[in-house]
Structure 1
Amino acid sequence: MKQEAVLVLDCGATNVRAMAVESQGKIVAKATVANESQISAENPHWHDWSLDDILQRLERCCQQVMAQLRGWEIRAITVTTFGVDGALTDERGELLYPIISWKCPRTVETMAAINCTISPHELQTLSGVGQFSFNTLYKLLWLKENHPQLIDRADAWLFISSLINHRLTGELTTDRTMAGTSQMLDIHNSRFSDTILQAAGLPERLFPRQVIPGEIIGTLRPQMATALGLTPGIPVISAGHDTQFALFGSGAGLSAPVLSSGTWEILMARSQGVNTSLLPEFAGSTCELDSLPGLFNPGLQWLASGVLEWVRQLYWHDVEAPRVYQKMMAEAEQVKPGCDGLQMDCGLMTRPSNAGWQGVTLATTRGHFYRSTLESLSWQLRGNLQVLESLGDFKAQELLLVGGGSRNALWNQIKADILDLPVKVLDDAETTVLGAAMFAWSGCGAFSSPEQARAQVDYQYRYFYPGVHCEAYRKIAAKGV
């Protein structure tokens, strides 16, 4: 009997990957190529994505994966990417202007001027999405202001996932979860908002038909099949924004907070409802559409491991990885909770004038600096979890932790102690790929639903329970620190 897998094309900001996943959720072949934006031809301070480069990287990955899968049958293909970025295209799907990267600063002034057309409060209440300069809305407003003729000429706006899907199938579509990141959707009815589009002066015709996760977009075209090393006619299934599929792929149920810990920490939950009018009160808040219809993903995000890397470069720049991380944790473990009064404000991007340490003495070691940073980020998590509970109307019983930050055992324990909650860490870090694969398996008819597909996965977790330092942190919290 021929073995079967689905193929997930995962375009991240750091890496482009192809992974083959069998029906029990096991990754049976994978390949990775580094991804990077490029300097804009218009301005050396701007950043674009090259679609041709991304496609070539995907082709290389697919060819490597298929070389590992002699005798296997690929049942379906699905694409997941980071959100918000995309491009104006003509009716053939050809780009009219380069893909502006989320790293690019050119839209900062556009966001600052949004009050002239619609208030940020109304924007977030309608769309759920917070004020981030890289939002799709600000890219389109920047193009309207600087290249107005392109808006008139354009047949469509395609997010990166839809650009890739178009190359695979020839179909112009909008992945629903990508639309949920745009700051242009009326999130409560999953449609592009007339109010927002009219205020921005943008035509709704720019957005092709929405496809929901698990829906068949089309079939793989012969030319792309040859380039990828695949068979023509394979169904291409809609996925979309990586965050939503990481949530689903983590195994999280409703009202279960999930922390994706990396350069940024993103705390989200899968919720049946959300009061979006509360969102503007909280910095870094957002709400996106869940991978399943009728559900929402309220959340908050803040810079996390990016701060830890800064501390590493300051105090451990002479120690090479990976030994440096064990050394940092070992030195921090010698410091007691509260770090002898050393406190850090981690708002290096949001509160730069107040960010940094207080309580430094001649007895302060670099272990103090590192532990105080871990504690500060964990206190930030505690506050944000309380906000998330109010937004999603639930009470957390535990925290599910995924991502690169989850490999830091000391940080995991500090989180459990400060939250006074069990923290469970998923051993399999490939939650985005796993989640997208479950929708692909469902979409090609192997399972009746993504939930049935997910039920086949044997999830393995490691637990960190509130421990001996929990009482010390309770006392610190009681002091209002």
Structure 2
Amino acid sequence: MYSLCLDCGATNVRAMVVDEQGVIAGKASQPNATLPGEENPEFHVWDADRIFQQLSECAVQALNGLDADKVRAVTVTTFGVDGALVDAEGRQLYPVISWKCPRTAEVMKHIGKYISQEELDWISGVGAFAFNTIYKLVWLKENRPELLEKAHAWLFISNLLAYKLTGIMATDRTMAGTSQLTDLETGDFSPFILDRLGLRRDLFPPTVDAGEIIGVLTPEAAASIGIPALAGVPVISAGHDTQFAIFGSGADRDQPVLSSGTWEILMARSAQARLTPEDYADGATAEFDAEPGLLNPGLQWLGSGIIEWVKAACFHGETYDTMDAEAALIPPGCDGVTMVPDFLASGNRKGSINGLVLGRTRGHIYRAAMEALTWRLKSRLRRLESVGGFKSEFLILVGGGARNSVWTQMRADILRIPVKVSEVSESTVLGASMFAFAGAGVYSTPEEARDAFGITYRTYMPGPQEAAYENLNH
């Protein structure tokens, strides 16, 4: 039996076929990228039709050579916050505004004319990030109000794709939890926030928990992804990729997990999230866990997006193996080369590279980027421990950044605790598949599916460079 997971990431879109033992039986990917907005070439939007076409092509390729009749569930996982207004027939009224788009930065600065930031923090628990859904909807309200009046629904991008599969509009709960429009206590959209913004509650379709059936594949959608049209395969709710990476990592409650991708997202699964204004100022947030009733307090910052920039700027055409080999020759502290890793155009602070003199190399810059991000991880882990009231015995690491052994060893050395890397790097896809199999009745619960999958780790212990890092002043 198989689960087909459609995974839309910021860098790649992928389809993966997972069997009931957690083995990836087939996979395919294509690059993903934003497009410039019509109003301004510096705006960033996603082409949802193109993404769906790419995911369909990937699904057909991933299923090639496999028995498609054995697919018992399809699920979709994506990055958070992004979505689009649609009419009653599901036609988009405006492109999907990307989290990369700078247009919402000004909206966030002036959100106080609708609702105070303190009220938003207290009710939603979600940190104030300019890419949050709330600021996209306010931008549309202020710049394209006729679209909000015409709109039948707002669909998060995972649900936009699920609608193309099923013809049914729904709201993945884990996506709603990234919007800054929900109530941390009730687990639903906040009437108070919506009223202050002048947004209708019925703009958001019924909420579905992870593992619930959204609908079944339409014949047209089934044909497009290479599944027999008469199979009646259910599409199971997943949603925000981070929540499924955490679950798929095998993390228990109060166990920190770092999902290392374009963004570094450090979270724990907790029954509560008590955040102070100081926590929010440090980038803290709280989202809905994939399991109802649990929350994910955490912090996030731009991660591999900076590493990708270094690669493009300094290592033209080179592989990461070459980059890592050069970085490994540089001592801790990078001979005085340091980086301030604040590279978001919408941020209040700006990034910098310091300490460059003749004789320093691109390897120094690359290692300085990894060190800067790891020191940031250390400070954020202390913050998370304070919010969650626990002390970390080890860190679980998942995501693309886990494949970088130089960086992973650096994390163990600087954090001074073991770092456990899942032997299977696709924790997001596996986590979503656990919920998909449970939703399809293959397993009774996602936890039962996780036990059947089995999770093993490769552990990095603090090494000889731990002492060198301890002497550095950070």
Give the TM-score normalised by structure 2: 0.93
- Counterpart check, 1:179 vs 2:179: no
Q: Does residue 347 of structure 1 match 2:342? A: yes
Partner SS, residue 329 of structure 2: helix
Distance 1:128 1:391 in 2: 12
Q: CA offsets per residue over residues 293-352 of structure 1, 9 Å max, x none?
A: 1111111112233333444555544x72244224323322xx2x3445554433344575
Q: Which residue of the partner structure matches residue 2 of structure 2?
A: 5
After the TM superposition, which of the residue ranges 154-163 and 281-290 deviates more from structure 2? Answer: 281-290
List runs of 5+ in structure 2 lacking aligned partners.
none
For 1:429-440, list aligned pairs within 5 A: 429-440=425-436
| Deviation of 1:143 (Å) | 1.0
- Structure 1's 145 and 352: CA in aligned 2 closer, same or farther, altered over 3 A? closer
Deviation at 1:182, TM superposition (A): 0.6
Query: 1:189 matched to which residue of 2?
Result: 186
Partner residue of 2:326?
A: 328
CA distance in structure 2 between the aligned counterparts of 1:59 and 1:182, rounded to whole angstroms: 27
Post-superposition offset of 1:114: 0.5
Equivalent residue number for residue 468 of structure 1: 464
Q: Deviations over 1:101-156 (max 9, x none)?
A: 22222222211110211122221221122222221111111111112122122121
State whether residues 279 and 391 of structure 1, in contact with CA within 8 Å, keep that contact through their aligned partners in structure 2: no
Deviation readout 1:186-243 (Å, 9 max, x if unpaired) = 1221111122111111111101110000011111112222222213311111111111
Give the TM-score normalised by the residue count of structure 1. 0.92
Counterparts of 1:311 and 1:170 in 2: how far apart (Å)?
A: 42
2:297 matched to 1:298?
yes
Which residue among 444, 448, 460 is the counterpart of 1:448?
444
1:101 aligns with 2:101: no
Provide Cα deviations, 1:435-455, integer angstroms capped at 9, x if missing partner: 110001000111110001000
Matches of 2:90 and 2:26, distance apart in 1 = 31
Q: Provide the residue aligned with 1:19 in structure 2.
A: 16
Q: 1:121–1:280: 8 Å Cα contact kept in structure 2? A: no
Count of aligned residue pairs for this structure pair: 470
103-112 or 303-312, which deviates more: 303-312
Q: Secondary structure at the match of 1:191?
A: coil
1:287: which partner in 2? 286
1:278–1:391 Cα contact (<8 Å) kept: no
Return the alpha-carbon distance in structure 1 between the equivalents of residues 41 and 312 of structure 2.
27
> Distance in 2 between the 1:307 and 1:238 partners?
31
- What is the letter of the counterpart of residue 154 of structure 2? W
The amino acid that maps onto 1:347 is D
- Deviations for 1:402-459, whole angstroms, at most 9, x for unmatched residues? 1222222222222112111011111211111101100010001111100010001222
Would the alpha carbon gap of residues 458 and 369 (structure 1) be closer, same or farther in structure 2, given more than 3 Å must change?
A: same
The alignment's C-alpha RMSD in Å is: 2.2
Which moves more between the two structures, 39-48 or 157-166? 39-48
Q: Which of 385, 388, 392 is the aligned partner of 1:389? A: 385
SS at match of 1:387: helix
Q: Is 1:125–1:280's contact at 8 Å kept on the other side of the alignment? A: no
Corresponding letter in the other structure for 2:295:
F
* Distance in 2, Cα, partners of 1:155 & 1:91: 5
Distance (Å, rounded) in 2 between the aligned partners of 1:24 and 1:159: 30
| Structure 1 Cα separation of the partners of residues 235 and 314 of structure 2 | 48
Does the Cα contact within 8 Å between 1:126 and 1:276 map onto a contact in 2?
A: no
Aligned ranges for residues 419-434 of structure 1 at < 5 Å? 419-434=415-430
Deviations 1:378-410 (A, max 9, x none): 221111100011112211110111122222222
Show the counterpart of 2:224.
227
User: How far does residue 77 in structure 1 lie from its aligned partner after superposition?
Assistant: 1.0
SS at 2:195 equivalent: helix
Q: Determine which structure has more spread, i.e. the larger CA radius of gyration.
A: 1
- C-alpha separation in 2, matches of 1:348 and 1:73: 45
Q: Which residue in 1 is equivalent to 2:212?
A: 215
- Contact kept, 8 Å, 2:323 with 2:363, in 1: the verdict is no
Moved more, 119-128 or 185-194: 119-128
Alignment CA distance shift 1:156-1:307 (3 Å): closer
Contact kept, 8 Å, 2:286 with 2:298, in 1: the verdict is yes
Distance 1:296 1:78 in 2: 22
Distance 1:409 1:181, change over 3 A: same
